[in-house]
A and B are shown apart, each in its own frame.
Chain A
Amino acid sequence: MAGAAAPPIATRTVGTGRPGTPGEPTLRWASRAHSIADIETELARIWAVPKLTTRVEGVEERHIAARTSVLNLVVVARREEIGEHAAAVIRQLTGRHPSRTLILTSADPEGRSWLDADIQAFCVLPRPDAAETCAEQIHIRAGGAAGRHLEAIVAPLLIHDLPVTLWWPSEPPLSSAAARDLLAMADRLVVDGSGWTGDGLVRLRELAAAMDRDRLAVSDFALVRQSRWREAIASVFDLPEFTPYLRSIRRIALTYGTRDETGAPGTTNVVKPVYHVAWLASRLEMTVDRPLGPVDGGRATGRTTARTASRTAAAGPPILHRGLVATLRAAKSDVSVVIRPVLSATPAGTTLRVEILAERRGSELRADVTAEAETVHVRVWLDGVAALERSFLAARRTEVDLLGDSIDAGGRDPAIAGDTIRMAARLAGG
């Protein structure tokens, strides 16, 4: 790396020792480097060391058999602790996915240019009688000019011919020039829209734009996490007598949790509820007639803000804002959309309820889907009479599960994700 200081390379090999516990990643190599050339040298050394074996009762027994050859995973961590957290998540996927992980943290952009890299190899035993599988993890901290040009660090360290997945936790500045350079070399972008500040809708529009601009596949944890809801909602319409109602939906109402006393637009991230509507709308080939805007006296004026709502609230007992409304168009009829906040102790922006109202040949179907902990409940009424009640046990997925699913190359529903994100951006006025 031009301009980087070049102190001696400190190398530490931890290749011997007892075999790890099946499923638990074990550190088998650790070294440090201060330039791209040194990092490359270290990476070559990991796999050139012939005696990188474990010993069982004094006998060399188990060779580190294979480096996984699945993908490059690049993580852009704005802060050190985000990088550490990402590293811990990725280690849990050692035997499953990444071949090489680059975790990038930049600091002190105005200082001198420097680079510091921790190079590690983690190995995992899939089963007691199997060979170990290893993955490389390089945590690079870069300062000065080097930190401003992360793409120049990433490019030489990618394993060629393997796809590149870019995981950008926190708030990715998707429209910035630096982000564009990184996105240009990625095949898949992984984000978590539910963690974005404000209502998240501006960044949602940026995400859709980046997706089309760079032909990126996108995995948004906020969307992946909702798969249990989607399965439950879809199950209602598996029943042949209910299927035709899908083409006659008149209203989609979402309720989400907020911790803001006003519940005014902009105070709570609404990416998750918007994804619910967008998924339904894109699957049912609806179009956006009128994008989401705040409700004001039953009409969407688009002028109610957090400040005006607070003023209203200050004048009397707190009145929660009535949320956002939009209009979708399905074939020849309108579908009204309402996204309403309710005060809740759940994480802000969590979807609490999805209601679907459909009318067909004078008959009315109402489906109501709610979730709590590990269960999703579905209830359906036909002309006011309870017609169906089901519970789906589906565990909430951890970040490890979500990342595993997201980087499962070409994993399930890439087109569904793209359609949903585009529709969500249109709903958000994009």
Chain B
Amino acid sequence: MSATTAPPPTEPTAPTSTKPAKDVPRSIRALRLARAGKRRPDRRESKIENPLREGLRLERMPDPFVLVLFGGTGDLAHRKVLPALYQLWRTNLLPHEFMLVAIGRRPYDDETFRADIRASLERFSRVLPIDEAVWASFRERIVYHGGDFNDPDTYSRLTARLDACDTEHGTRGNRLYYLATHSSSFPEIIGELGRAGLDHEVHGAGWRRIVIEKPFGRDLESAIRLNREVGKVFRESQVYRIDHYLGKETVRNLLVFRFGNGIFEPIWNRRYVDHVQITVAESIGIENRGSFYEETGASRDFLQNHLMQLLSLVAMEPPASFDADALRDEKVKVVRAIAPLSPDEIRRDVVRGQYGRGWVAATEVPGYRDERDVDPESETETFVAARFAIDDWRWAGVPFYLRMGKRLPKRATEIAIQFRAVPHRLFTDAGADPEPNLLAMRIQPDEGILLRFGAKVPGLGIDVRAVNMDFTYGSAFSVDSPDAYETLILDALLGDASLFTRADEVEQAWGVVTPIIDVWADSPPPEFPNYEAGSWGPPAADELLARDGRRWRRI
């Protein structure tokens, strides 16, 4: 802002006890729902609404704010967070009164850091080339704040700097702390923010929110400990745990698909569904993240978060409203209803694998143990497949098969609802029974929905063959979808936590995964590597379904 006179100080707006005449939807998504007659009440909304915003891209602009980016020089910040912010700025979705204070240990000055960001944007921005005028206005809002995360002096200087932002740039005390650091730094950063009083929300003096990147702990105990550390400083309503999967357009569309279409709900239960398969297949390996992967493995990196999130979205009951907590209440109920597995059941129903040398996409690739920064004797799993049961009224008796693997033949994320076979064989002359119907939701790539049904083969007699009705998103919408980080950062700025993970969700998911990790730690590992790169995982994964008379879908 370049006003000749600073804007007048914030004056008290509407009395907080008075609800606005109309509830103001908080985001584009909320806006769409609002149009569908599902306006949700918002207890936190206390501002006078701006009627001119109705019908525009955002029904409410984020408040003026400072984004305090911890780990500002790190990979995540440069690949994801900063390009997302630039894109939001470029498309006028951020207020003019916005500042970015990046915190890192490197001895940078503002100009060096800005040059670094510019270089990263050239590589990672999804819209190129970089617009010089946009960049000029973006760069002047970026400052670098050097310091150690565990040094109280970093935070006292930060306090002064943030206050200066409020005065000079009109950011009005609103702060979004973004932890894009290694998770081991989370407790100390959160603790120091608390000690410096940077978490305090004083009425009328701005909001304080914190965004935490996964992993949220590495088992149930550490997750509880981390949540406790966070909870000592921030209220749960101030905490936004990012699982970027939830920001993906097609994952969000799962909700629309399930609850925006009337025809699926009546058959979305044990009476019609035989089983559900969720596959997250990656053709890539660990991509120079050997030391990270050695610490995590597929169960921590994917099963506890992304796969559990997909399972919750598929299996959850319809929420009463699209309020963040109503949605998350239903999701957490699903995870809570997952039947706990005994050690024997874990050994029987959960399969781990590690890839060996092989061929992927016509290229020979090394085995996991040959990757950089990986122990040559590593017992870390790069593949996990599991069979879960959800003990509730809707899903009792319907197995959910989940699998995730690295170096599989192709990149594909799909959810398949396999329906039951027809109860009576009518076409006795047909060569084979009709295949049961299948509904597959492709998350990536080629987002779309496929329905398989039987059709008569042309000719004399009656022969039935399965055919696919395939809807591809690209054929209906080729509008540029926002990146997951753009969606999520904007939601955090607007105070909409629907797409963020709540503490109890995290703990419940760890409650499912931790016993598996514990049993594996105590059990002799299988003969790793036990699947060839470019195959669909170890044979035991196929046996897991074969035992039940089923098989994995061919993707």
Contact = CB atoms under 8 A, between A and B. Distances in A.
B7 A388 contact: yes
Contacts of A133: 472, 474-475, 478
A68 to B, nearest CB: 5
Interface in A115-134: 126-127, 129-131, 133
A304 B92 CA distance: 43
Interface string A22-34: 0000000000000
Interface in A388-430: 388-394, 404, 408, 412-413, 415-417
A238 B54 CA distance: 12
Contacts of B7: 239, 241, 387-388
A243 interface: yes
Nearest to A127: B474
B343 interface: no
B446 interface: yes
B5 interface: yes
B61 interface: yes
A386 B5 contact: yes
A352 interface: no
Interface in A230-265: 230-231, 233-235, 237-241, 243-244, 246
A227 B56 contact: yes
B174 to A, nearest CB: 12
A96 interface: yes
A280 interface: yes
B337 to A, nearest CB: 36
Contacts of A390: 1, 96
A68 B476 contact: yes
A238 B56 contact: no
A375 B133 CA distance: 10
B2 A96 contact: no
B86 to A, nearest CB: 13
Nearest to B8: A241
B60 to A, nearest CB: 8
Nearest to A285: B51
A382 interface: yes
Interface string A133-145: 1000000000000
B548 interface: no
Contact of A96 (B470, B471, B477): B477
A231 B470 contact: no
Contact of B11 (A66, A241, A280, A385): A241
Interface residues of A, number: 52
A227 B55 CA distance: 10
Q: Which size class do B's interface residues fall under?
A: 35 or more
A131 to B, nearest CB: 7
B4 A66 contact: no
B529 to A, nearest CB: 29
Contacts of A382: 8
B481 to A, nearest CB: 12
B18 interface: no
A240 B10 contact: yes
A11 interface: no
Contacts of B134: 393
A239 B445 CA distance: 41
Most B CB within 10 A of own CB, among A65, A127, A239, A280: A239
A96 B55 contact: no
Contacts of B56: 227, 230-231, 234, 412-413
Residue from B50, B60, B95 having most chain A Cβ neighbours under 10 A: B50
B48 interface: yes
A184 interface: no
Given A126-B474, A131-B472, A133-B475, A240 B92 contact: no
A358 to B, nearest CB: 13
Nearest to B134: A393
Given A234-B52, A388-B7, A70 B476 contact: yes
A403 to B, nearest CB: 13
B53 interface: yes
B232 interface: no
A68 B477 CA distance: 9
A231 B5 contact: no
B3 interface: yes
A81 B51 CA distance: 42
Interface in A167-196: none
A19 interface: no
B51 A246 contact: yes
B89 to A, nearest CB: 10
A294 B49 CA distance: 35
A49 B280 CA distance: 35
A133 B445 CA distance: 16
Given A240-B48, A390-B96, A283 B478 contact: no
B13 interface: yes
Nearest to A394: B92
A404 B480 CA distance: 12
A14 B66 CA distance: 57
A65 B55 contact: no
A231 B92 contact: yes
A190 B131 CA distance: 32
Contacts of B53: 234, 238
B57 interface: yes
Given A69-B476, A131-B472, A240-B47, 15 more contacts: A69-B471, A70-B476, A234-B50, A235-B61, A240-B10, A240-B48, A241-B9, A241-B11, A244-B48, A386-B4, A387-B3, A389-B1, A390-B1, A390-B96, A412-B56
Interface of B: 1-5, 7-11, 13, 47-57, 60-61, 90, 92, 95-96, 131, 133-134, 137, 445-446, 470-472, 474-479
7 contacts: A69-B471, A230-B56, A246-B50, A389-B4, A393-B131, A413-B54, A415-B55
Interface of A: 65-70, 95-96, 126-127, 129-131, 133, 227, 230-231, 233-235, 237-241, 243-244, 246, 280, 283-285, 374-375, 382, 385-394, 404, 408, 412-413, 415-417
Instruction: Sort A-B residue pairs by CB-CB distance and give the 10 closest, nearest first.
Output: A413-B55, A416-B55, A234-B52, A66-B475, A133-B475, A386-B4, A126-B474, A240-B13, A95-B478, A238-B61
